[in-house]
Amino acid sequence: MQLLISDANILIDLEEGRIIELMFRLPYRFSIPDILFEEEMSEEHGYLPGLGLTIAELSSEIVMCAEELIQRYNGPSRNDCFALALAKDRQCPLLTGDKDLRKAAEAEAVIVNGILWLMKQLINQKLITVAQAREAYQRMKDTGRRLPWTVVEAELQEIELDL
């Protein structure tokens, strides 16, 4: 199974949409850097490893790579750079919805996927319907998650036409 490295916002989006458990039923392995998990996720989202999220311990080489990325890009947060460095090291895609992190990852030749891609995977794997995806997105919107809502709706309409 392919490994995907996630930042915090993707996990929080899915949690707010109340479909986080379904992500771990996809045919992928999901991981997050240990530093990012400890600093941003462990207190309120500490149950995620029990669902299947692996916490990756960062080697000194990955930390050094992250420090270089922090110096090179002023948009992504420090913890986002740890996720990017881990994805680079493991040569796997990065899951993020953060525009600055996406730009940095693309500049570093790292494949980037976001919430739209992940939701499409859930629909394609028949883990949710388009109607359930729409409900999940609405819950995300209601809790203040920042997504490109017009793009979300266009994507859902396109999926409906393909079904």
Q: Report angle CA 57, 63, 68 to the nearest 5 degrees.
A: 155
The domain in which residue 17 lies consists of 1-163
Tell me the two tokens of residue 1: 């199974």
Position 38 pLDDT exceeds 80 = yes
What pLDDT is recorded for position 34? 97
Predicted model pTM: 0.92
**């993020």: which residue's tokens?**
96
What pLDDT is recorded for position 161? 86
What pLDDT is recorded for position 163? 72
Q: What percent of the chain has pLDDT over 70?
A: 100
Domain count, the chain: 1
Q: What is the pLDDT of residues 106-123, one digit of tens each?
A: 999 999 999 999 999 999
- pLDDT band (50, 70, 90) for residue 160: confident
Q: CATH number of the domain that 129 lies in?
A: 3.40.50.1010
- Give the pairing type, strands 94-95 and 28-33: unpaired
Count other C-beta atoms under 10 Å from residue 88's C-beta.
19
